[in-house]
Amino acid sequence: MTADSSLDRRFDRALASLRGLSVGDALGSQFFVPAHYPLLKRRELPDGPWQWTDDTEMACSVLAVLARHERIDQDALAMSFAQHHDFDRGYGPAVNRMLRLIREGGDWRELAAALFQGQGSWGNGAAMRIAPLGAWYADDPEQATHQAEISAYTTHQHREAVVGAMAVAAAAALAADPAGPPTPEKLLDGVIALVPRSAVGAGLRRARDMLDYGDAGTVAAVLGSGRRTSAHDTVPFALWSAARGLGDFERVFWTTAQVGGDVDTTCAIAGGVVAAAADGTPPADWLRQTEALPEWVPGAVA
Ligand SMILES: [Mg+2]
Residue 262 lies in a domain: yes
Range(s) of the domain holding residue 77 = 7-289
Q: pLDDT at position 278, please?
A: 92
- Nearest residue to 144 via CA among 273, 282, 238: 273
Q: Flag whether pLDDT at 98 surpasses 70.
A: yes
Average pLDDT, the chain: 96
Q: pLDDT at position 3, please?
A: 60
Alpha carbon of 25 to ligand 1 centroid (Å) = 7
DSSP assignment of 74-89 equals HHHHHHHHHHT--GGG
Alpha carbon of 230 to ligand 1 centroid (Å) = 13
Residue 295 lies in a domain: no
On the CB side of 277, CA atoms within 13 Å amount to 25
Going by pLDDT thresholds of 50, 70 and 90, the confidence category of residue 2 is low
Residue 1 lies in a domain: no
Alpha carbon of 1 to ligand 1 centroid (Å) = 38
Provide the whole-model pTM: 0.97
Domain count, the chain: 1
Dihedral sign from CA coordinates of 162, 163, 165, 169: positive
Alpha carbon of 278 to ligand 1 centroid (Å) = 25
Residue 243 lies in a domain: yes
Q: What are the tens digits of pLDDT across the range 104-114?
A: 999 999 999 99
Alpha carbon of 215 to ligand 1 centroid (Å) = 25
Residue 298 lies in a domain: no
Three-state secondary structure call for residue 261: coil
CATH number at 34 reads: 1.10.4080.10
Alpha carbon of 188 to ligand 1 centroid (Å) = 25
Q: pLDDT at position 1, please?
A: 47
Alpha carbon of 221 to ligand 1 centroid (Å) = 21
Residue 78 lies in a domain: yes
Q: pLDDT at position 299, please?
A: 87
Going by pLDDT thresholds of 50, 70 and 90, the confidence category of residue 4 is confident
Tell me which residues have their CB within 5 A of the ion that is ligand 1.
Answer: 53-55, 90, 264
Residues 159-174, mean pLDDT to the nearest whole number:
98
Residue 266 lies in a domain: yes
